[in-house]
Structure 1
Amino acid sequence: MISFVRGNLFAREEESVTLDVGGIGYLIMIPPAVLPQDLKIGDELLLHTYLQVREDNWQLFGFPQKEQLEVFRLLITVSGIGARLGLAILNHFSYLEVMQLVASGDSNKLSCVPGIGKKIAQRLVLELKEKFKKLDPAGLPQEAQTGEGDLSLNQDVVLALTQLGYPMNEARAAFLKVSKSLGPEADSQGLIKGALKLLGKF
């Protein structure tokens, strides 16, 4: 089992990266949305990994956050969800959004992911609702532990921040911190303003 890979970015493709680890290149499949937009060739990167072993192929899948990997591993336990679809889901939604959608039973939004039809989306909710509750909540933002939070508001704020040039992972982290400090009554304008201050842009 390869639990993580730390190395320097050697190449970046649409759905994969190659990390140089002591002169050996590791090709790792990854959802593009989880990578920092300012990541450059030569930068150091640590990815938590899942090794899929088949008779004709061994393939590594990686994620910057361990929580992303945990959600991915649960996604691919669902019948009809292979590793590629698991990546597609986590490229379309953050791991927190996936947990919230499953917790709220929102199969309609899940079915918006390319390759995920209504039946598979309903199966995701049915099979993962209880499994997600068993994830270790240590270190997870409160929104992921309780299933609370306005998903549409989350998406609006994160989208606004990314349009201002901030990487997706930084935008989501800033939103979660500001949302927790301002409380559930905060509107999108207040959340964006607070997130910008947190990101160092007044």
Structure 2
Amino acid sequence: MDYLQSTVERISRWSVYFCGALLLGCVGLITFEVVGRKLFNHSLLAVEELSGYALAISVAWGISYTLLQKGHIRIDALYVHLPAPLRRILDVAALLALALVFGTLVWHASGVLHESLRLGAKASTPLATPLWIPQSLWLAGLGFFCLCVFMLLARAAQLILRGDFAGLEREIGAHNTEQEVEFELAAERERNQASNISGDR
């Protein structure tokens, strides 16, 4: 389980770099498009299409890292005042709800991809992009997110069976104020170390 978790976390970290590069590429294309229209009266025609694909793919892959880092927004005004056992039940219920919603989404998305492959569907744009290409990348990201959710559920079950409820709260519970502060301090230390290394070079 620990090996699977570390592997999934490593893949999710690299997927964030991929998403960032994808979005930066979109920014470059959009900038080139705006400048080209303004100065040369020329348009690339495909920027909007490619940007749409990039956004969908980057969201699908980025949500896994956000989940593992507990970065998704939680409305915890009531949550923080509840007894610890009830908080743990809600944390597990939230993961089960994610598994249900995204499992359904992956099921239907795989049907869409299958249909695109069967029909040889292409985008009705100047690029005429074969739709299976962006759809398969999007589906892979959603599938990886489901894997992350099921891994966390398995980890939660393991901790519950051990009776390690403090570990359960630490693994899947929402950050409390002290944890948020510690997280920000750790991030600041990492940024300082990175700047010191670049300064030494």
Could you state the TM-score of these two structures normalised by the residue count of structure 1?
Answer: 0.22
The structure showing larger relative contact order (alpha-carbon pairs under 8 Å, at least 6 residues apart) is 2
Structure with greater helix share of residues:
2
More strand by share: 1
| Higher Cα radius of gyration | 2
